[in-house]
Amino acid sequence: MREFGLPARYEVSADSGLADVPRVNAERSPDLPVLARRRPDGGWDDVTAAAFLAEVRAVAKGLLASGVAPGDRIGLLSRTRYEWTLLDFAIWTAGAVPVPVYETSSPEQIAWNLSDSGAVAVVVEDGRHLPVVASLRDRLPELRTVWCLDPDGGEPGAIARLTEAGSEVADADLAAATAGVTPDSVATIVYTSGTTGRPKGCVLTHRAFLTVCGNTVAELGPLVRDPNASLLLFLPLAHVLARMVEVAALMAPLKLAHVPDVATLTDDLASYRPTLMLGVPRVFEKVYNAARAKADEEGRGPIFERAARTAEAYSRALDTPAGPGLALRLRHRLFDVLVYRRLRAALGGRATHAISGGAPLGARLGHFFRGVGFTVLEGYGLTETCAPTAFNPAEAPRIGTVGHPVPGTRMRIADDGEILVRGDHVFHGYWNNEPATSEVMSDGWLHTGDLGALDDEGYLTVTGRKREILVTAGGKNVAPAVIEDRVRAHALIAECLVVGDGRPYVAALITLDEVFLPRWAAEHGLADLDHDALLRHPELLAAVQAAVDDGNAAVSRAESIRRFRLLPDQFTESGGHLTPSMKLRRHVVTKDFAAEIDALYGGAA
C-alpha cells in the first residue's frame, strides 16, 4: 500500500485552545483527581481538577503582572515535575508560548534555544542553573526575567512569587489574554535534539496538540477512560512526546504524576502503581535485562529463559487464527505464577500497557512483554508531528510495526520509500528558518526523512533514515537500523553503530551495558578481571559475536557486520554522543571514533 489514512475521531472547535483543558475538567468534575504531587515522605497527594485550575489561573495572573504579554516566549529549564505542567498551562492561559529546554543542556544549547526563540523570561529549576543563565545574559538581549523554582537560601520559589504578583490582577484581564488565543496560535517552540546539526525550533500550534491528543485519547479508549486510570511520567518534559502525553493525560483525563529522577523510578512505580506507562525502548530493554540478571543471581536463570521463550511464543500465537494451543497455554499459566507476576509487580502491579516511542523496540522484546501481560504499544512520530503520527491501537496491536496513522492523518510512501505525512498535527515550520521549512514541506506533505512501508491494513513499519543509508564500496545500500536494533536486543549490548559508507564491508562500533556486564562477568567466572582485560577476553568477545551473528541473520550477507570494535564505555549525553531522548548522534560518534573505525578496515581511510 502506498497511501493510507483514517478519519478523525476528534474535532478541534474554532475557538478552542490548550487553556480550555483544565477549565473544562474543573467544570465537569471539579473534585476529580487529575494530578498527583509527590510528598517528601515518598507518598502522593491528589490534586483535583478545581484545585489545579485555581493554581493555573493564579500563576497566569502572575505572569501578566510581571509584564508577560500574549505571544511572548518563556523558557522552561527543569526536570520533569509537577510545576512544569502547572507552568505550561499557566503560560498558555496567559496567551504566551513556553519554550522547553533540557535541564542537561550545555550553556551553548541554552543560549541558542533562548536567543533563537527570543525568550523574554525563563524559569529554571534550582540554583545550579542560575549562574549558567547569568553568564549568558549578554547573549540574550530580550531576556528580562529569571525565575527559579527551588532557589537557595529559603527564598520564595517561582510559583509562590508569581502567585503573589498576580493577586491583584482582575479576572477580566486574564480572560482577555486567553481570548486572544486561537487554534492556530503558536502553543510552543520545541527544538529538535540536533542529531544532524544545530537544533531547529519546531513551531507547534494549539490545534496540533489538541488534534493529536484528542485523537490519541479516542484511540486508547478503555485504557484512559477507566476512572482509576493513572500515568507516571518520567521522560523529560523538554521532549515533545512527554509534552504531548502531559496534555493527553489531562484531556482524557487520567491522573498524572511526575518523576524528576529515574534513579527513584522503581520505588515510584511501587508507590504510585500506574495503570499506563510511557517510555523509550532503552527503558524496556533495561527492565528485561534487570529481570534476567536478578533471576541469574537467584539461581533461577534457566527458569527465566524458558519463561521468556514461552512468553514470546504465546504472544506470536495470539496473532494466528488458532491462537495458543493447550500445551502452550498451560506452560504460560505456570510461568505466570513463577515469573510474569513478579515482573508485572516490579512495574507497579497494575499496568497492562505501555506506550513506547523514539526508536524501534524490536519484535523480540515486543512479543516478550505482551506475553507476560504487559503490552508495549509502539508508535512513531517526530517533533514536527507533535509526537505520534502513528501508533498501535490497544485492541489490535501488530508487534514489529509502529501501528497505523493517528486518526485524522494521511500517510504516503514516496517512490524512494520515504514516509510522507499530512494532517492538522503537522508543525507550521521552523522558527525563523524558512529555508529549512521548505526542505521538508511540499504541497502540504511533511517529508520525514524516514523510510518505511505500509501493509495491506495500513500498519507502518519504519526501516531506517534516508540520511543514514550507507553505500558500501561495492555499491550496496545498507539501512543500519534493521541490524542495529537486532544486535542491541542482546542483554550485553548497550549500543550498536553500523559503519561502512564507502568502505569494502559493513562493520560496527559496540558498547556494552554497564549494568549487565558485571553480572555477566560474575556468571562466567570473570569477575576478577579488570575492565580492559574483560573486554579482551575471548569468552566475552564470543558472546558479542553471538549477538552480531543474530543481527546478521536478519539481513543479507552484503549488509551483515563483518567486524566489530568494542568501545570501553557507553555513549552518553554528557559526552555529546546521545541526544536527551537517547538517540545516537551519528556524526559526532563517527568523528570522535574515526581512528577506531579506520582500524576496522586495517587503517585504510
pLDDT of residue 439: 94
Residue 8: inside a domain = no
In this structure, the answer to whether residues 477 and 455 fall within a common structural domain is: no
Are residues 76 and 101 in contact, defined by beta-carbon separation less than 8 angstroms?
Answer: yes
Structurally, the chain folds into a number of domains equal to 3
Cα-based distances in Å from 526 to 1, 290, 388, 520, 538 = 52, 19, 44, 8, 11
In this structure, the answer to whether residues 509 and 462 fall within a common structural domain is: no
Peptide bond just before 253 cis, omega within 30 deg? yes
- CATH of residue 578: 3.30.300.30
In this structure, the answer to whether residues 395 and 310 fall within a common structural domain is: yes
Q: Give the span between the Cα atoms of 214 and 502, in whole angstroms.
A: 46
Nearest one of 162, 13, 14, 31 to 94, comparing CA atoms: 162
In this structure, the answer to whether residues 122 and 63 fall within a common structural domain is: yes
Distance of CA 340 to the CA centre of its chain: 25
Cα-based distances in Å from 450 to 91, 272, 422, 461 = 33, 37, 14, 10
In this structure, the answer to whether residues 407 and 488 fall within a common structural domain is: no
pLDDT of residue 145: 97
Indicate whether 5 pLDDT > 70.
yes
Q: Give the span between the Cα atoms of 163 and 59, in whole angstroms.
A: 5
Give me the mean pLDDT over the 261-276 stretch: 90
In this structure, the answer to whether residues 457 and 500 fall within a common structural domain is: no
The model's pLDDT over 395-406, given as tens digits with 9 standing for 90+, comes to: 889 998 999 999
The model's pLDDT over 178-200, given as tens digits with 9 standing for 90+, comes to: 999 999 999 999 998 654 457 89
What is the DSSP secondary structure assignment for residue 593, as one 8-state letter? T
Give me the mean pLDDT over the 292-319 stretch: 92
For residue 491, what is its C-alpha cell?
542483554
Q: Give the span between the Cα atoms of 1 and 540, in whole angstroms.
A: 44
Point out the domain boundary residue: 466, 488, 509: 466
Look at 295 and 90; give whichever has higher pLDDT: 90
Distance of CA 346 to the CA centre of its chain: 21
Q: Give the span between the Cα atoms of 576 and 104, in whole angstroms.
A: 11
Give me the mean pLDDT over the 151-155 stretch: 85
Residue 383 φ/ψ, nearest 5 degrees? -60, -40
Give me the mean pLDDT over the 28-49 stretch: 95
- Could you give the angle at the alpha carbon of 403 between the alpha carbons of 324 and 319, nearest 5°? 10
In this structure, the answer to whether residues 381 and 474 fall within a common structural domain is: no
Say what the pTM is. Answer: 0.84
Peptide bond just before 580 cis, omega within 30 deg? no
Give me the mean pLDDT over the 507-513 stretch: 95
In this structure, the answer to whether residues 444 and 558 fall within a common structural domain is: no
In this structure, the answer to whether residues 459 and 481 fall within a common structural domain is: no
Give start and end residues of each alpha helix (H) in 410-494: 434-440, 480-488
Residue 212: inside a domain = no
Indicate whether 502 pLDDT > 80.
yes
pLDDT of residue 584: 81
Residue with cell 525565575: 147
Q: Give the span between the Cα atoms of 462 and 390, in whole angstroms.
A: 11
Look at 458 and 590; give whichever has higher pLDDT: 458
Point out the domain boundary residue: 440, 466, 492: 466
3-class DSSP assignment, residue 345: helix
Q: Give the span between the Cα atoms of 207 and 215, in whole angstroms.
A: 12
pLDDT of residue 333: 97
> To which H or E segment does residue 452 belong?
strand 445-454
Give me the mean pLDDT over the 244-264 stretch: 94
Are residues 420 and 411 in contact, defined by beta-carbon separation less than 8 angstroms?
Answer: yes
Q: Give the span between the Cα atoms of 399 and 361, in whole angstroms.
A: 9
Residue 9: inside a domain = no
Q: Which domain holds residue 133?
A: 18-181+227-274
What is the DSSP secondary structure assignment for residue 406, as one 8-state letter? P
Residue 204: inside a domain = no
Point out the domain boundary residue: 466, 492, 509: 466
